[in-house]
Amino acid sequence: MPVKIVKKEDENSLTLERILYTKHYTLSLDRSRCIGCELCKDACPKEAIKIVKPENLEAVSESMPKKITVTVLEDKCNFCGICSEICIFGAFGQSVNGEVWVPVLKSESFPQIVHEVKVDVAKCPPGCRICEEECPLHLINVRFNGSGRVSEVNVDVDRCPGCRVCEVKCPYDAIHARKILTGSIKINSDICPEGCRRCVDACPIPSVLSISEGGKVVVNDLFCVYCGACRNACPVEGAIEIKRMSIRHAPVKSGAWNKALERLTSTEGMVKELRSKSTSRVCDSVRRLRVGGRVRR
């Protein structure tokens, strides 16, 4: 049993602590990084994360930011660390006794989410900062040597959701990013309120949603990361449809992940991954048989 549970939150952060006799668990949220999406809420097996919209902020705290965010219910949170790993924007952090520690990763009951950005500095021309300037989340920093050539391109990979804006905008084929989430997004403009642009303002990637000359919301699916921030901001249920199909992650054996995957994607997405794993296991077995000798017929 915890000796004490302490919760502190304001417009900039949220900190939840569970203090035991020998261990001190801390869950933190950096609200400057939180974009008000729904991934952590959907992944949480305890339903301990709640979306908080501006109109409901006073019920939480007068000092809360005037934007969509999340709060953590201290009576439900078990400090498993799923929210910390599933947040593709790196807003959550988890520690035990002051050291970074994500229990579900240590127990291998939840996979490590794969963020992938690769840069070939040799292809970068002198003085080029295109990727740095185009990154919508300002996660790229380009450094030059004394002759003006690019010496380093540093990417804050843990906070990169894989929108691929940097890759598409780079004319030199020097940077490549892979999406973490795959899926689709559809805007039902027939039921969109006239003059509304809440989804456009909420989207963390400015290139995804825009208003057409006819006043309709249009979507550029190429850069969408399927986080759901736009759907949370939309005042009309059903106006935005997001369907997630897969999540890039390291191998995992635990069946607990299947339940989380179903909540984050769909039953179809979960079944697709299970079939893929089954096929992979068969291929591995055949490969081992070939290495050890002839394949039995």
Residue partners of 274: CB distance under 8 A and separation at least 6: 258
Block means of pLDDT (10 residues each) for the chain, length 297 residues? 85 94 95 95 96 69 70 95 96 95 93 97 97 97 96 97 97 97 94 92 94 91 96 94 95 84 80 60 44 47
* CB 87, CB 40: distance < 8 Å: yes
What integer pLDDT is reported at residue 56 of this predicted model?
Answer: 61
Q: What is the model's pLDDT at position 269?
A: 64
Domains detected in the chain: 4-106 (3.30.70), 116-178 (3.30.70.20), 181-255 (3.30.70.20)
Contacts with 246 (C-beta within 8 Å, 6 or more apart), sequence order:
181, 182, 183, 265, 269, 272, 273
Beta strands (DSSP E) in the chain are 4-9, 13-19, 24-30, 49-52, 69-72, 92-96, 99-100, 116-119, 140-144, 150-155, 175-178, 181-187, 209-211, 217-219, 240-247
C-alpha closest to that of 66 among 10, 126, 105? 10
